[in-house]
Amino acid sequence: MMAMGVSLKFSCALITLIAVTVELLVLRVPLAYANSEGDALYTLRRSLSDPDNVLQSWDPTLVSPCTWFHITCDQDNRVTRLDLGNSNLSGHLVSELGKLERLQYLELYRNKIQGTIPVELGNLKSLISLDLYNNNISGIIPPALGKMKSLVFMRLNDNQLTGPIPRDLAGISSLKVVDVSNNNLCGTIPTSGPFEHIPLNNFENNPRLEGPELLGLATYDTNCSYGSSKARSLHSASTFKIRCAVTKPAKSPAEEDWKTKREVLLQKRVRSMDVKEALRLQKENNFVILDVRPEAEFKEGHPQGAINVQIYRLIKEWTAWDIARRAAFAFFGIFAGTEENPEFIQSVESKIDKNAKIIVACSSGGTMKPTQNLPEGQQSRSLIAAYLLVLNGYNNVFHMEGGLYSWFKEGLPIDAEEE
């Protein structure tokens, strides 16, 4: 009888041990993933300022982040969505986001996030949508993002990104939407792979970004500066053969590096103002608003009383370089390529007296104000125009910060010209 009791107890203990083992194998493994992903997300939380307490539910003592607001998980308790768009967050992104192996949607648009895009985001092999637009993100677009082979949407517009568009992105066959407009990118627009079907307006308002490349006639990283003399010499050696076929004209004042332009603008006391102040000064003090956008955009809508002189125009000449540029645009289905307007100053002088008080405006505006990540502000077409004006004897030049996007958004008075 005693032996039977011992045997029964042993059997019960064995069953319990098996049950615990099964629990560890079946339940604890996803839990371990949940904990590691929770740690990664909590690292993000600690890097962000959250004045509206959007992240209040992100409690690191909870077993899984799947109970946190703005987080979506799959049936295995693996994070698949991070939805924090338009949440008034500031701070910077963290490399730990690259540990969210099943993440499909990274939505952090319309915040005040600064810093750079972590290279580790390239590890997100399941990512479908990368939405970081309308922030203050700086630095380059990491070539490692080309490893995200499931990516369909990549929207990085309205930031402060620099450098060329990585050609690694052309290898993402699933990519359907790319928007990098309103940054400070340089080089040329890719034409291969998914970029064949991306509209050109998704690249606009990058003053140093050239039109579509064509068989090496315009270098991949044209207009991109190189830090060291060694790097510059290596770049020159590697691009000499393609440059000698079609020679680009000498650099114009408008193509001067932004640091030089900014120093001159500050020395000449060019002051920035917001759109409401610009409107007030136009009405009360007879300031002139000079809209330097293309003529077609000006006709669609502009501040009442504004004068238009485009700083870029349709390509007019037929030199070897111009023919190459025309061919590059045509290759992308665009038969109206643009170039710097060499008659810009002459046209301004014919319309505006040199003693006039001029507020220069373009679409995005740019800024001369330093930030932590952009100590020299950000160049724009209106700031390039302001630079050209002060170089040519205009002493009362002002700059519309926020650009005409802000003017239209504020609902300030506009005129439009019917065709």
Catalytic residues: 362
Q: Are 320 and 391 in contact (CB under 8 A)?
A: no
Write out the two tokens for 110.
Answer: 């319309």
β-bridge pairing 79-83 and 71-73: antiparallel
Q: Are 85 and 135 in contact (CB under 8 A)?
A: no
403, burial (CB in 10 Å: exposed 0-12, middle 13-18, buried 19+): buried
Q: How many CB atoms lie within 10 A of CB 290?
A: 27
CA distances from 185 to 79, 88, 234 (A): 32, 26, 21
Residue indicated by tokens 């839990």:
31
CA distance 419 to 408: 21
Q: Which residues contact residue 349 at a Cβ distance below 8 angstroms, ignoring those fewer than 6 apart?
A: 392
Alpha-carbon dihedral 259, 316, 179, 219, rounded to 10 degrees: -70
Write out the two tokens for 107.
Answer: 């939505």
CA distance 230 to 235: 9
